Amino acid sequence: MNASSKFSESAAALGELWASHSLIRVVNFHNTPRVKAEQFERELAHYSRHFSSVNEDDLDQYLITGHWHKSKPGLIVVLYEGYRDGYDVLMPLLERHGFTGWFFIITGFVNASVADQLAFAQSHRIGMETREYPDGRYALTWEELRALDRRHVIASHARSHTQLSLLEPDILEREVIGAQEDFQRHLGHPVRSFASLRGPAHGEHAATDRLVEAAGYDFVFSNFLIQRIRSKEKS
């Protein structure tokens, strides 16, 4: 099979998926440095004119009923990793323009001491092109996360930002279950949404599937899908 046929197969598979399932718009942020705040503001202002905010209950209802209940199409604003500037820079802009932020947190990044955060980022595929904090704290604190938790969505991006399908069982459990335990301990409740580096989607890696279900996550985000894996009533 040559490269072109693989492309055509992949494109056809995704095309069929798009034609037969619901789609939702997502905008993915990572580091959101202040030096780019004006650009973010312009983008969010544009999005707020055309799209509406989505929280977990909105998503849940949409996945159950297939009907979007707001006048403007839904847009999920995702912030990956747990950067401090997600709170300092993007969160105020999100609130000004009426969006809920979905903060997918690497709990190991948040748990790292300030002195270790840069090294943690560099060794765990956490991009740090722009560094705007002379004090060296680049990750959110749990106090900031508790504040975000009041109006936004806190979600799990596992503990260490590693590719789960490559891990030994005990390490995999710490990544999936351990992260949920971190949220329970510091937020006082489990989180509902889970995403990991490069997937996997639910159904792709059985060991991860079992742990994600055991941890009590409701939604799995991956490269091309949002999957509702567990009904809230079973919580």
Partner 1 sequence: MMDRRGATVIFGMAAFVGMGWLVARRLRFAQPAEAHTSPTVFESEPVNAFDERLRADLARLKTRVYSEEGIPMFLVCENLALKTVSQASAAAPSPTVNKTLASAFRRYADAWQRIRPDAPASDVAKLVEALADRDFANGGDGKSL
Residues 140-169 binding partner 1 (CB under 8 A) are none
Closer by beta carbon to partner 1, 78 or else 179: 78
Tokens 């959101």, residue?
32
Q: Out of 158, 167, 176, 226, which residue is the one contacting partner 1 (CB under 8 A)?
A: 226
Amino acid in the structure at residue 97: H
Tally of CB atoms within 10 A around 151: 12
For position 21 contacting partner 1 by CB under 8 A, the verdict is: yes
Q: Out of 6, 146, 151, 189, which residue is the one contacting partner 1 (CB under 8 A)?
A: 6
Angle at 119 (CA atoms; ends 118, 122), nearest 5 degrees: 85
Closer by beta carbon to partner 1, 129 or else 135: 129
> Does residue 175 contact residue 146 with C-beta atoms inside 8 Å?
no
For position 114 contacting partner 1 by CB under 8 A, the verdict is: no
Q: State in angstroms the smallest separation of the CB of 199 from partner 1.
A: 6
Q: State in angstroms the smallest separation of the CB of 85 from partner 1.
A: 10
Give backbone dihedrals phi and psi of 132, rounded to 5 degrees, phi first: -110, 5
At 204, list the tokens. 């792709």
Angle at 118 (CA atoms; ends 37, 167), nearest 5 degrees: 110
Closer by beta carbon to partner 1, 159 or else 161: 161
> Does residue 199 contact residue 220 with C-beta atoms inside 8 Å?
no
For position 103 contacting partner 1 by CB under 8 A, the verdict is: no
Closer by beta carbon to partner 1, 48 or else 182: 48
Taking CB under 8 A as the binding criterion, the range among 29-37, 146-154, 174-182, 183-191 that sits at the site for partner 1 is 29-37
For position 42 contacting partner 1 by CB under 8 A, the verdict is: no
DSSP 157-194: -TTT---GGGS-HHHHHHHHHHHHHHHHHHHSS--SEE
Q: Out of 56, 62, 145, 155, which residue is the one contacting partner 1 (CB under 8 A)?
A: 62
Separation CA 58–CA 47 (nearest Å): 18
User: Does residue 200 have a cis bond before it (omega within 30 degrees)?
Assistant: yes
At 171, list the tokens. 């390490």
For position 134 contacting partner 1 by CB under 8 A, the verdict is: no
Q: State in angstroms the smallest separation of the CB of 233 from partner 1.
A: 9
Question: Applying CB under 8 A, what is the total number of residues that bind partner 1?
Answer: 79
Footprint on residues 172-211 left by partner 1 (CB under 8 A) = 197-204
For position 128 contacting partner 1 by CB under 8 A, the verdict is: yes
